[in-house]
Amino acid sequence: MIGRVVLKAMEHADQVIVCDDGSTDLTGQIASRLGAEVLRHQRNLGYGAAIQTLFGRAREVGADILVTLDGDGQHEPDEIEEVIKPIVDEVADVVIGSRFCASHPASAMPWYRRVGIRFITKLTNNGAKKAVQDAQSGFRAYNRKALENLVLLEKGMGVSAEILIDARKQGFRVCEVSASCSYDNGTKTSKHNPVKHGFNVVGSITKLVIEEKPLKLLGLPGILLLAIGTVFGVWTLQIYGTQHYIVTNIALAALGFVMIGFFALSTAITLYAISRLAARQRNNH
Closest CA to 21 of 76, 71, 77, 73: 71
* Same-domain pairing of 152 and 251: no
pLDDT band at 172 (very low <50, low <70, confident <90, very high): very high
Same domain, 238 and 207: no
Q: Are 185 and 177 in contact (CB under 8 A)?
A: no
Write down how long the chain is. 285
Residue at a domain's end among 151, 186, 212:
212
Domain membership flag for residue 11 = no
The boundaries of the domain holding residue 122 are: 49-212
* Residue 186 binned pLDDT confidence (cut-offs 50, 70, 90): very low
Domain of 113: which CATH number? 3.90.550.10
Helix spans in 43-156 (H): 47-60, 80-88, 103-108, 111-125, 144-149
Same domain membership, residue 143 and residue 65: yes
Distances from the Cα of 267 to the Cαs of 154, 188, 202, 231, 257, in angstroms?
20, 41, 20, 22, 15
Nearest alpha-carbon partner for 267 in 201, 203, 199, 220: 220
Q: Are residues 61 and 193 in the same domain?
A: yes
Residues 154 and 204 in one domain: yes
pLDDT tens per residue across span 73-130? 889 999 999 999 999 999 999 999 998 886 555 556 677 777 888 888 888 887 677 8
Is residue 17 included in any domain, yes or no? no
Q: How many domains does the chain have?
A: 2
Residue 6 inside a domain? The answer is: no
Q: Does residue 5 belong to any structural domain of this protein? A: no
Task: Read off the pLDDT of residues 231-265 as tens digits, 9 standing for 90 and up.
Answer: 999 999 999 999 989 999 999 999 999 999 999 99
Q: Is residue 145 part of a domain?
A: yes
By CB atoms closer than 10 A (0-12, 13-18, 19+), residue 200 is middle
Same domain, 200 and 230: no
Residue after which a domain boundary falls, among 181, 212, 243: 212
Same domain for 65 and 88: yes
Tell me, yes or no, whether 270 and 224 share the same domain: yes
Q: Are 92 and 130 a contacting pair, CB within 8 Å?
A: no
Residue 3 lies in a domain: no
